[in-house]
């Protein structure tokens, strides 16, 4: 019952969204053909299949229309706009790289009408979808009921998830939340659970989550058969809150249930591929259109002001704790002291041009060559010197987690005001927590956002940049 209504809703969304994307393209084509081509002819234009393919890629990548998971309205909205923006980028890339009409331009009347139509559609349609979803429970005669049995920390968190996203289900709550009975033996637990299954059947519950300590979960076949007799789906959830107080992630490896300390999106091969493609495209753009003229200018000034090489290279800690040579424009006098010492405000070792390029982050530009070589990424935790990695690893337990991904030219910590010298371990802990947050919640949209914020912070000026 639950899947049928969710499936109907999703199919309707698929048809309406795809229709809107095609209509938007037809509007664009109509205004770029002033001689007035018929609608039938426009339907066979090559931009129609490009629209369909780019939209299908976008919704598939962000998994917009999933029916195999609990429906979340927030995720649906978020992924809708992500898919829309991705489709627009792909579509515009094709239109401007392979133009078939001189009237194709970003600020043309045709494009403005098309964009206005699509933005209006997505705003209005999502409002309408919200109204439908809120009212849908009242339209269902026989609702799919779900309940939880077992009162503990894990069941409370599960109940919160089910309650906040119960659009296509009827959540009955935790059945024994008012009970103060503690089960000390498996027999006590088995007797209580058997009684609970019978009582849940009488209340016409279709699906019940049983949250219990792993020690109590035994002889599952008996409970599953009992649930089958009552036409009830039973699902067991181990209560692991007594094992670990921190949030952890679980997954399946073949038939094995795996518990991990955290979720890591970049463990997914497709996510790594998407990030690598973004790194290559972004780096090539910077090197061709900026470094091609900036490098000789800065090289001339650096050589003019002080003796030594234009580029400064230093061993830094990379992914998997492997060292690599990190490149920068030289901003200090050569033989000016201990290289492992962090730069400070009004540092006497810094050259005149060095002060400017460090303040504007231009000294980091050669690291785009590191990105192309694969030792760095555009966005990620900033790489530290080998000595600093060793020192901080002795004082901060989860310090090395930031090395599960490639280091970046910029990062979440840098745009969060945590750039510059770390005078205390407390300062480094704040930076590490932010880096780990990036590792746990990576997304391509987040990388683009961090790049955008980096430009803004650089233009505004960062007091920690020196």
The residues, ordered by sequence, that sit 6+ positions from 242 with a Cβ below 8 Å of its Cβ are 213
Average pLDDT of span 123-139: 80
Checking if the pLDDT of 240 tops 60, the result is yes
User: Cα separation of 401 and 395, whole Å?
Assistant: 14
Average pLDDT of span 147-159: 88
User: Cα separation of 240 and 213, whole Å?
Assistant: 7
Average pLDDT of span 351-357: 87
φ, ψ of residue 381 to 5 degrees: the values are -65, 140
User: What is the three-state SS of the chain?
Assistant: CHHHHHHHHHHHHHHHHHHHHHHHHHHHHHHCCCCCCCHHHHCCCCHHHHHHHHHHHHHHHCCCCCCCCCCCHHHHHHHHHHHHHHHHHHHHHHHHHCCCCCCCCCCCHHHHHHHHHHHHHHHHHHHHHHHHHHHHHHHCCCCCEEEEECCCHHHHHHHHHHHHCCCCCEEEEECCCCCCCCCCCHHHHHHHHHHHHHHHHHCCCCEEEEEECHHHCCCHHHHHHHHHHCCCEEEEEECCCCCCCCCCEEEEECCEEEEECCCCHHHCHHHHHHHHHHHHHHHHHHHHHHHHHHHHHHHHHHHHHCCCCCEEEEEEECHHHCEEEEEEECCECCCCCCCCCCCCCCCCCECHHHHHHHHCCHHHCCHHHHHHHCCCEEECCCCCEHHHHHHHHCCCCCHHHHHHCCCEEECHHHHCCCCCCCCCHHHHHHHHHHHHHHHHCCCHHHHHHHHHHHHHHHHHCCCCCC
pLDDT band at 358 (very low <50, low <70, confident <90, very high): confident
pLDDT band at 40 (very low <50, low <70, confident <90, very high): low
Average pLDDT of span 391-417: 90
Checking if the pLDDT of 288 tops 90, the result is yes
Average pLDDT of span 18-35: 82
Judged by average pLDDT, the poorest of 44-48, 395-399, 437-441 is: 44-48
Per-residue pLDDT, 466: 45
Per-residue pLDDT, 165: 76
Checking if the pLDDT of 93 tops 90, the result is no
Per-residue pLDDT, 186: 85
Checking if the pLDDT of 43 tops 80, the result is no
Higher per-residue pLDDT: 255 or 456 = 456
User: Cα separation of 318 and 402, whole Å?
Assistant: 9
Residue bearing tokens 């800690």: 317
**Bridge pairing between strands 408-410 and 377-379:** parallel
Average pLDDT of span 282-300: 94
Checking if the pLDDT of 371 tops 60, the result is yes
Checking if the pLDDT of 105 tops 90, the result is no
Residue bearing tokens 């649930």: 227
Judged by average pLDDT, the poorest of 138-147, 363-372, 412-421 is: 138-147
Instruction: Classify residue 80 as exposed, middle or buried by CB count within 10 Å of its CB (0-12, 13-18, 19+).
Output: buried
Checking if the pLDDT of 339 tops 60, the result is no
Checking if the pLDDT of 38 tops 70, the result is no
User: Cα separation of 153 and 246, whole Å?
Assistant: 12
Judged by average pLDDT, the poorest of 14-23, 294-303, 329-338, 393-402 is: 329-338
Per-residue pLDDT, 1: 39
- Spell out the domains of the chain, with CATH numbers in brackets: 2-139 (no CATH), 145-245 (3.40.50.2300), 269-460 (no CATH)
The string of pLDDT tens digits covering residues 313-329 is 999 999 999 999 999 99
pLDDT band at 421 (very low <50, low <70, confident <90, very high): low
Mean pLDDT of the chain: 84
Comparing CA positions, the residue from 319, 342, 324 lying closest to residue 332 is 342
Checking if the pLDDT of 35 tops 60, the result is no
Judged by average pLDDT, the poorest of 50-54, 134-138, 188-192, 446-450 is: 134-138
User: Cα separation of 36 and 5, whole Å?
Assistant: 43
The residues, ordered by sequence, that sit 6+ positions from 401 with a Cβ below 8 Å of its Cβ are 262, 432, 435, 436, 439
Do 266 and 377 touch, CB atoms closer than 8 A? no
User: Cα separation of 284 and 341, whole Å?
Assistant: 32
Do 401 and 439 touch, CB atoms closer than 8 A? yes
CA atoms within 13 A on the CB side of 243: 13
Checking if the pLDDT of 388 tops 60, the result is yes
Average pLDDT of span 112-129: 90
Per-residue pLDDT, 262: 83
User: Cα separation of 61 and 87, whole Å?
Assistant: 11
The whole-model pTM stands at: 0.67
Q: Percentage of residues in the chain with pLDDT exceeding 90? A: 33
The string of pLDDT tens digits covering residues 405-419 is 999 999 999 898 877
- The residue length of the chain stands at 466
φ, ψ of residue 234 to 5 degrees: the values are -110, 140
């Amino acid at each position: 019952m639950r899947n049928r209504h969710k499936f109907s809703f999703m199919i309707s969304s698929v048809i309406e969204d795809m229709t809107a994307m095609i209509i938007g393209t037809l509007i664009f084509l109509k205004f770029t053909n002033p001689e007035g081509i018929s609608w039938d002819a426009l339907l066979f234009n090559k931009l129609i299949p490009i629209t369909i393919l780019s939209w299908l890629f976008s919704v598939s990548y962000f998994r917009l229309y999933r029916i195999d998971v609990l429906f979340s309205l927030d995720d649906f909205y978020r992924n809708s706009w992500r898919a829309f923006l991705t489709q627009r980028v792909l579509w515009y890339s094709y239109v401007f790289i392979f133009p078939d009409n001189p009237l194709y331009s970003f600020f043309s009347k045709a494009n403005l009408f098309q964009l206005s139509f699509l933005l209006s559609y997505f705003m209005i349609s999502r409002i309408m979808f919200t109204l439908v979803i809120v009212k849908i429970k009242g339209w269902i005669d026989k609702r799919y009921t779900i309940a939880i049995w077992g009162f503990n920390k894990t069941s409370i968190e599960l109940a919160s998830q089910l309650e906040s996203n119960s659009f296509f289900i009827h959540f009955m709550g935790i059945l024994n939340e008012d009970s103060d009975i503690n089960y000390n033996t498996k027999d006590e637990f088995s007797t209580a659970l058997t009684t609970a299954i019978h009582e849940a059947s009488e209340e016409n519950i279709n699906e019940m989550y049983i949250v219990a300590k792993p020690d109590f979960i035994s002889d599952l076949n008996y409970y599953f058969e009992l649930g089958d007799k009552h036409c009830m789906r039973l699902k067991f959830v181990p209560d692991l809150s007594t094992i670990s107080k921190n949030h952890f992630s679980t997954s399946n490896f073949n038939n094995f249930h795996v518990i991990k300390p955290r979720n890591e999106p970049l463990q997914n091969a497709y996510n790594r591929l998407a990030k690598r493609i973004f790194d290559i495209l972004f780096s090539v753009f910077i090197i061709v259109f900026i470094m091609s003229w900036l490098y000789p200018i800065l090289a001339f000034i650096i050589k003019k002001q002080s003796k030594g090489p234009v580029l400064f290279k230093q061993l830094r800690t990379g992914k998997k704790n492997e060292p690599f040579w990190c490149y920068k424009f030289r901003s200090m006098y050569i033989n000016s002291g201990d290289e492992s010492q962090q730069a400070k405000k009004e540092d006497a070792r810094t050259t005149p041009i060095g002060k400017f390029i460090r303040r504007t982050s231009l000294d980091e530009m050669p690291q785009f060559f590191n990105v192309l070589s694969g030792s760095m990424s555009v966005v990620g935790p900033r790489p530290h010197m080998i000595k600093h990695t060793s020192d901080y690893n002795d004082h901060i337990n989860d310090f090395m987690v930031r090395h599960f991904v490639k280091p970046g030219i910029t990062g979440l910590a840098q745009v969060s005001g945590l750039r510059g010298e770390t005078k205390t371990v407390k300062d480094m802990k704040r930076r590490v927590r932010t880096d780990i947050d990036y590792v746990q919640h990576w997304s391509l949209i987040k990388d683009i956002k961090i790049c955008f914020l980096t430009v803004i912070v650089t233009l505004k000026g960062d007091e920690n940049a020196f």
